[in-house]
A = this chain, B = another copy of it.
Amino acid sequence: MMNENAKKVPSVVVKRLPRYYRYLGELLKQDVKRISSNALSNKMNVTASQIRQDFNYFGGFGQQGYGYNVEYLYNEIGDILGLHDGDTTVIIGAGNLGRALASHDTFEKRGFKLIGIFDNDKNVIGTIINGIEVMSVDFLKSFVTQNRVDIGILTVPKSAVFKTAETLVECGVKGLLNFSYTELNFDKEVAVENVHLSDPLMTLSYKIKQNKAEF
A59 within 8 A of B: no
Decide: B81 and A206 in contact? CB cutoff 8 A: yes
A33 proximal to B (CB < 8 A): no
Report if A83 contacts B (CB, 8 A). yes
Task: For A83, list chain B residues within 8 Å (CB).
Answer: 202, 205
Of the four ranges (under 10, 10 to 19, 20 to 34, 35 or more), the interface on chain A belongs to 35 or more
A103 CB within 8 Å of chain B: yes
Most-contacted residue by chain B among A95, A192, A201 (CB, 10 A) = A201
Tell whether A22 is near chain B: CB-to-CB under 8 Å. yes
CB of A34 within 8 A of chain B? no
The complex places the Cα of A89 from the Cα of B3 at a distance, in Å, of 44
Bound complex: CA A209 to CA B210 (Å): 39
Binding site for B on A (CB under 8 A): 3, 6-7, 12, 14-15, 17-19, 21-22, 80-83, 85, 87, 89, 95-97, 99-101, 103-104, 106-107, 110, 112, 150-151, 153, 174-177, 181, 188-193, 195-215
28 contacts between A and B (CB under 8 A): A3-B210, A3-B213, A6-B213, A17-B202, A17-B203, A18-B203, A19-B196, A21-B202, A22-B196, A80-B206, A82-B205, A83-B202, A85-B208, A87-B205, A89-B201, A101-B197, A106-B196, A110-B198, A150-B208, A153-B201, A174-B208, A174-B212, A175-B207, A176-B204, A189-B215, A191-B207, A191-B210, A193-B203
